[in-house]
Amino acid sequence: MDDADLINEVLELTLAYQREDATAEERARLERLLLDNPQAVSWYLRAVEDSLTLRAAAAKRATEPLRNADDCGHCIVTPLEAADDGAAVVLRDGASTSPTEKQSNWIHTARLWAAPVAAACVLLAVAGVLWWIASDKAAGNVAGLLNSHVARIVNVSNVEWAGGAKKFEEWSFVEPGETLRIERGLVNLFLDNGAELLVEGPADVDLVSLKLIYARKGKLAVRVSPSAVGFSVQTPHAVVIDRGTSFGMSIDEVSGTDVVVYEGIVDLDVIGQNAPPRRRLGGGEALSVSRNGELSRITTVESTKFLEPPQVRAAGARTEPVITSVSDNVRSLETTKYYRVIPTGFREDSKAYVDRQHEWNGVDQRGLPPFLLGGDYVMTYNDDKIVTEFEIAVGIGQPASLYVIIDDRVPPPEWLTRDFVDTHWDVASDEGYTDNIITNGVGPGESIDHTCSVWRRDISAPTTVVLGALSTEIMARAAEDVERSMYGVVAVPFASDRSK
């Protein structure tokens, strides 16, 4: 993609996002552009800044005093948001009167124009950026948009700042040496080297430089573009060094640091005299570092413990999770694999595994079985498809239907036919790989590689359900050479519990 195409796409997607009519695919595309290309970040920030400036000007114009010079020298004065048609208004000399029909019509007309003017500001912002692009100074300005600073806050959500801490506003800059101290809420930053950082309170985080964050406590999620490889997060217990990835961290200054890798690779250095050698973690792996420098496996990765990358966040009406825990019979530190629980997240193009790019889809354009949509689901580990002595324990926190999605290329195992019933519905798998030899389709029925059967078991009360191995067949080949997939797990609350 050349510069002109990149600029046009970023502006179009930003405009749709600000109008709040961007589709899920458009939002995901904008996120991907911002992740992959630091120049896209510069254009995005410039477009939004111009839009905010124009919106502020429109808001000021729409709410500044209205003056009707035709009626008197004093001029009637009233803010748009305070004056209602037919209501009394206050004259400059303090007298009170009711507006004339002419004055009321003037006020009403101004109100009608206020919303279109505000909306048009976004269009004007884009037009202004397009003019700016055409100027001779554009190339130099793009490079310098952020370079005089280190990071910019692009979102502040429900934040309560810690007592005595500096309070940052949306679109404000964060300079080297400044600290984010949050009691609660979420802050989203873009660094000018292409890294993106989410911080959730309670948190205490120093922006040391473009290359280093120091976090004493808090939840963090980091996405790093190729231009920012080497970006590091240091805690009192460990240092995580990015090698081109997205990862999450949960830091407690007293107890320790937990690290989970969503995609790519990180290096993990443990702080302490008896620290083990550097560990390299890949997508689908996680480790916990205690305050004493001891390592342990993290079995379940869930949203209550870790921030999720933006592209897989799923909003849901339920506050109580259906799937409360996932564990297996693998001895700790024999593996660094984890299970990821996505609350209310099962939908088209949901990622199926923590160690593959495979996605769940409907087998045709009718989409996924409707009873599965919005269910809690588990991203399992696809390499486990060849493990024969294997059990997964799934904690269910409320009455629900538990579904297992199993590859049709594998005979249903005994534990499945004993405890579950076949719904006679199917779900498709769309295989994808990080090396991009095979890419995913988008939407139901696209790029389908094989089908899976959906089996159901109804759970009447909170309990733990034990699932077995995919197959007892012993494989001599490596997992990536075996043409089958590990099963998926989805849980949906009973209808009377869906509003929780």
| Pairing, β 392-396 against β 232-234 | unpaired
State how far Cα 29 lies from the chain centre.
13
Residue that wins the pLDDT comparison between 175 and 41? 175
Q: How far apart are CA 221 and CA 188, in angstroms?
A: 9
Q: What b/e readout covers 351-390, taking b as 16+ CB neighbours within 10 angstroms?
A: bbbbbbbbbbbbbeeebbbebbebbbbbbbbbbbbbbeeb
User: With 0-12 CB in 10 A as exposed, 13-18 as middle and 19+ as buried, what is 482?
Assistant: middle
203-254 pLDDT per residue, tens:
999 999 989 999 999 999 998 877 788 899 999 999 999 987 889 999 998 8
Q: Where are the domains of the chain?
A: 3-144, 150-300, 314-500
3-25 pLDDT per residue, tens:
777 777 877 887 777 676 766 55
**pLDDT classification of 432: cutoffs 50, 70, 90:** confident
**pLDDT classification of 349: cutoffs 50, 70, 90:** confident
Alpha carbon separation from 112 to 74, 104, 106, 108, 117 (Å, rounded): 25, 12, 10, 6, 9
pLDDT at position 32 over 70: no
- Kindly report the CATH class assigned to 150-300: mainly beta
**pLDDT classification of 293: cutoffs 50, 70, 90:** confident
Q: How far apart are CA 432 and CA 423, in angstroms?
A: 27
CB contact at 8 A, 288 and 295: yes
pLDDT at position 132 over 50: no
Residue that wins the pLDDT comparison between 67 and 327? 327
Q: What is the mean pLDDT of residues 105-126?
A: 42
pLDDT at position 42 over 60: yes
166-197 pLDDT per residue, tens:
999 888 889 999 999 999 999 988 888 878 88
In this structure, what token pair is assigned to residue 157? 């959500």
pLDDT at position 130 over 50: no
DSSP 364-422: STT-S-GGGTT-EEEEB-GGGGG-SS--EEEEE-SSEEEEEEEETTSPPPHHHHHH-EE
> Of 119-133, 232-246, 310-324, where does the model show the most confidence?
232-246
CB contact at 8 A, 336 and 285: yes
Alpha carbon separation from 38 to 82, 127, 147, 433 (Å, rounded): 44, 22, 11, 24
Q: How far apart are CA 87 and CA 102, in angstroms?
A: 14
Ranges of beta strands (E only) in 271-347 are 279-282, 286-290, 295-297, 300-302, 323-328, 339-342
Tell me what percent of the residues of the chain surpass a pLDDT of 90.
Answer: 29
pLDDT at position 316 over 50: no
Minimum mean pLDDT range among 182-186, 262-266, 306-310, 382-386: 306-310
* Amino acid sitting at position 330: V
Residue in 210, 212, 273, 220 with CA at minimum distance from that of residue 249 = 220
Q: How far apart are CA 257 and CA 238, in angstroms?
A: 7
pLDDT at position 348 over 90: no
Look at residue 274 and give its three-state secondary structure.
coil
295-314 pLDDT per residue, tens:
888 888 877 788 876 544 43
CB contact at 8 A, 157 and 185: yes
pLDDT at position 76 over 60: no
CB contact at 8 A, 396 and 491: yes
* Residue linked to tokens 């305050």: 291
pLDDT at position 95 over 60: no
In this structure, what token pair is assigned to residue 381? 């580990």
Q: How many helices (H) and strands (E) does the chain have?
A: 6, 26
Residue that wins the pLDDT comparison between 88 and 375? 375
Q: How far apart are CA 359 and CA 375, in angstroms?
A: 15
DSSP 93-119: TS-EEPPPHHHHHHHHHHHHHHHHHHH
CB contact at 8 A, 238 and 270: yes
Minimum mean pLDDT range among 121-125, 276-280, 285-289, 297-301: 121-125
**pLDDT classification of 345: cutoffs 50, 70, 90:** confident
Please tell me the predicted confidence (pLDDT) of residue 127: 43
Residue in 262, 263, 330 with CA at minimum distance from that of residue 299 = 330
| Pairing, β 350-351 against β 359-361 | antiparallel
CB contact at 8 A, 492 and 400: yes
